Structure 1
Amino acid sequence: MEGEEAAAKNRPAVQAREAQAAKDSAWLTIQRVFQTRLLEGVLIAYVRRDFPFGKWDPLPPDSWRALRITDWRRGTAEGGGVRLTDLRIAPGFPSASKEFAAQLVNAGETSASTPAAVSHAGRQLQLTIDVRTSKIKIKGVGELTGAHYRLVAVLAETAKQDIFELLPPEEHRFVKVQQLTKRLKMGDESVYRGVSKCRRAFGDMATAAFGEPVSKELLIENLRRHGFRLNPNIRFIAPKSD
C-alpha cells in the first residue's frame, strides 16, 4: 500500500508536468505555424515607422526571412539589425512596400550583429548517419564529424523512434540535457556548448550551400526545460552499401 499511496501522492505533480510539457509543445507549434503563415503572406504584419501617430505600413512577407517575433504580447520583432515594435497582424495579401523590404535587407547586410536567419519553411534536410565513417552526411550541405556526429547521432535515435511510432511532427520528443550528459559522457555546460558549436558548424555550411543564412533550428530544435531534438521535418536516408 505504501507504494500505491506514494504514487497517488505524486500523481498530481506528474500530471502537472505532463500538462506543462503539452502546453509548451503546443505553443512551439503555434509559433512555427504563425511564422510560416507570415512568410507565405497568409497573414500580414503592419507596423508604424513614425510611432505613435504614423501611417500603418504592411511588412512584405519576404521580410520574415530576416525577422522573428521576440515578444508576442507586445508585438515586437527583431532581425537583421532592425527592431520593430507595436506590430498588428491581419489576414490578407496587400501589396507590400518594396522600399521598406529593401531597408530590411540592407540592414541585415550592414548590421554588425549576427546575420538574421532564414525561416526553415519549405526546406527539408536529408541526413545519412554513416556509423562506419562516423559522419553525418547532409545532402547538398556537407558533413558533420567528431563531437557533432556523436550529438546528432544520439538525437537521431529518438527522432527515428518517433518516426517509427508515426508520431506527428509536433509530438516528436525532446531529449533532456540530463540524458545527453549520460549518453555523451560530459557535463551540462559541455552539452550546451556542443549544441551551440554543432549548430554554428551546420549554419556555416548551410549558408554557403543555400546562399543565405538559415534558421539554427533547421537541424536542432530546443525548448526551454525540455531539451533538444532534431527538426521533425528531417528525412533520414540509409547509407549506400559498398
Structure 2
Amino acid sequence: MTEITSKSNEHFRRWSDLSSARGIKKHNEFILMGEKLIEEFLANPNFKVKAEIIHEDLRSLTPTSSVAQFGRIPVFKLPKAMFNELDVVGTHYNLLVLEPKALPALPNDHKVQGLELVCPLGDPGNLGALARSALAFGVSKLILTEESVSPYHPKAIKASAGAMLKLPMFKIGKFAEYVSSHEGLWALDMKGENVAKFNWPKNLQLVIGEEGPGFSGIKGLQRLSVPTHGVESLNATVAASIALFSYANSVKN
C-alpha cells in the first residue's frame, strides 16, 4: 500500500482530472464510485483495474476480490480530505481507477437492429439517466456523437446506476453530418407523432437531444412526441423513458 499526503503528487493530480470528460480522455482512466456499483463490478470485473483508492477509515477490497486473479492491484491511501476531493459524487466508499474501453466506430454499412439510440447529449446526468432506461427497456445499443459527453464521466455512471458499463456503445462523428447522410432517423421532439399511437417498427434509430432548442433547424429527421398537459415539455430523459416503454410494449405485443 502506498500513502499519498501531498496534492502535488502525480497520481493525485491525475486522478483530480478524472472528474471531467477532458481529463478522462487525456489520461485514459476513469473512477468508479459507489458501494453497490463497486460490489457488482468486483463480482464480475469487465474493465482493467489500474488502482484502488482508500482513506484511513476504509479497508482495501481488491486483494480478496476476483480481480486479484489478474495480478496485484496498487492500493493508495489518502487523507480523508484529499480522498473527498476525488469522491466527487460523495459515496464515502472505496474508489476504483479503471481503464475505459475504446468505443468502436459504427460501421459505414451498419444495418439497424432493434431500437438504437443516437445520443448527442452533453450533460452527463442526462446521458446516464438515458442509459439506465435504455437497459431497462431493451435498447440494443447507444450511438454517441462527437458532441456527446464521455460515458465514463462519474456523474454519467452514477445516474445510469451502472447501466453505462453494460450497454453496447458505438461512436460516430458530428450529429448534423450523421443526419445528413442517413435516412429513416426519428427524433423525440415537442412536435411530432404521438409515441403512444406510433406503429413502432422493430428496427429503428431514435435520436434523443437536450432540452431547449431541440432539433429546430435540422432537416431530415422524422418526429415523435410525448404529448403533455399543463407543462410545455418534459425533461428529455423522462420523455425518452416514456418513448422507450412505448416501443418495448409495442414490439412485445
| Normalised TM-score (structure 2) | 0.26
| Normalised TM-score (structure 1) | 0.27
Which has more helix, going by share of residues? 1
